[in-house]
Amino acid sequence: MKGPAIVLLAFTALLAAASPSFADAKRDARAQVEFGINVAQRGLWREAIYRWEKATQIDPTYVAAYNDLAIGYEHEGQLDKARKAYEKALQLDPNNSQIRQNYELFKEINDRTAQKEK
């Protein structure tokens, strides 16, 4: 009986000690991403990019923030930045089909532009 109880207590203590700042950061990053989505839907892409950039600074492992940031850059014609953001998102979550689909569509445009520059 003692075994599981100790593990449980240790787990709870660890969560209690570590989670406040970690959870706050996650919550902040998520709020930034949500705000970004909201303003992007209203056509305010620069503000959206600012929010998504902020989200990636707060939580550098936040996959959705990189995906959204890549879309924002794409919409602004900053194709190099968009590619890097997509690659980061896929590096963090290689099996995400939605990011992969976004990236494939982006590559079509990017390849066309690259051909022009040859």
Partner 1 sequence: MIGPLRKRNSRLALGLAAASLAAVAVACGTDYYEIPIETPIQPKLDVSPFQRVLVLGFVAGGTDDVDANQETVRLLRSQLRTKSSLKVIDADIVQLIEVARDQSQGGSDEAGPREGGAPPRATNGSDRSAPGVALPSNIKDEKDLEPYERLFANTAYWKRIGEEYQNPLIVTGTVLFTGRSTSGFVQRDQETFDSLGRRRVIPTRMYMERKGFILRPKFIFIDGRSGATMYSESYREEILYNAQQNTPALSSYFELMDRLVPNFLSALSSQKIRGTRVLLK
Kindly list the residues in this chain that would bind partner 1 in the complex (CB under 8 A). 1, 4-5, 7-8, 26, 30, 33-34, 37, 40-41, 63-64, 67-68, 71, 74-77, 79, 98-99, 101-102, 105-106, 109, 112-113, 116
Strand (E) or helix (H) holding 71: helix 63-75
Q: Which is nearer to partner 1, 16 or 112 (CB)?
A: 112
- Residue 5 CB, shortest distance to partner 1, in Å, is 7
- Residue 90 CB, shortest distance to partner 1, in Å, is 12
Contact call for residues 78 and 53 (beta carbons, < 8 A):
no
Q: Which is nearer to partner 1, 30 or 84 (CB)?
A: 30
Q: Give the separation between CA 55 and CA 66, rounded to whole angstroms.
A: 9
Q: Which is nearer to partner 1, 57 or 98 (CB)?
A: 98
- Residue 34 CB, shortest distance to partner 1, in Å, is 6
- Residue 42 CB, shortest distance to partner 1, in Å, is 11
- Grouping H, G, I as helix, E, B as strand and the rest as coil, residue 86 is helix
Q: Which is nearer to partner 1, 57 or 61 (CB)?
A: 61
